[in-house]
């Protein structure tokens, strides 16, 4: 791979990762697609960064389970929905604009539907992830 292309992938992956992490706290930003984009970019550019991300104690299992099974744990579903709606309700109370409130309701509804349609991860699948956690080999 050309060094410029490699650095662009690393830059795009890092920006996606940062915005994805911010998206954990701001429900209007799509966390999952940004984390998946970061994994994709790191996989194409840096084994070290990809290994760091896929073995990260917070994001690693989430990314692996989402890409492999299109599933998340029940705890992840519950925490996501609670945090999402608490953030949206606080935002709606702080902004008295009906149009923004309607957009927030639409985003919340869409994200909730997506989260609820994901499969719920079984404990056997988590064991597979724990066995998977090793450096990426080319």
- Mean of the pLDDT values across residues 119-137? 68
* pLDDT attached to residue 45: 95
Element of type H or E holding 73: none
* pLDDT attached to residue 138: 46
Per-residue pLDDT tens over the stretch 89-114 = 998 999 989 999 999 999 899 989 98
Backbone phi, psi, residue 71, to 5°: -140, 155
- Hey, which of 7-11, 19-23, 24-28, 92-96 has the most confident mean pLDDT? 7-11
- This prediction's pTM: 0.70
* Residues belonging to the chain: 138
**Which residue stretches of the chain are H helix?**
3-25, 31-45, 47-54, 59-69, 74-94, 98-117, 123-132
* pLDDT attached to residue 112: 93
Per-residue pLDDT tens over the stretch 33-82 = 899 999 999 999 999 999 999 999 888 888 888 888 888 888 888 988 99
Per the prediction, the chain carries an average pLDDT of 86
């Amino acid at each position: 791979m050309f060094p410029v292309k490699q650095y662009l992938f690393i830059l795009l992956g890092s920006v996606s990762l940062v915005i994805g992490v911010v998206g954990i706290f701001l429900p209007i930003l799509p966390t999952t697609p940004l984390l998946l984009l970061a994994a994709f970019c790191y996989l194409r550019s840096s084994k070290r960064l990809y290994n760091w991300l896929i073995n990260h104690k917070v994001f690693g299992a989430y990314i692996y389970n989402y890409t492999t099974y299109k599933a998340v744990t029940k705890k992840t579903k519950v925490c996501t929905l609670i945090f999402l709606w608490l953030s949206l309700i606080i935002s709606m109370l702080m902004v008295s604009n009906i149009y923004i409130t309607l957009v927030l309701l639409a985003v919340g509804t869409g994200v909730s539907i997506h989260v609820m349609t994901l499969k719920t991860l079984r404990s056997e699948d988590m064991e597979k992830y724990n066995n998977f956690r090793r450096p990426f080999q080319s």
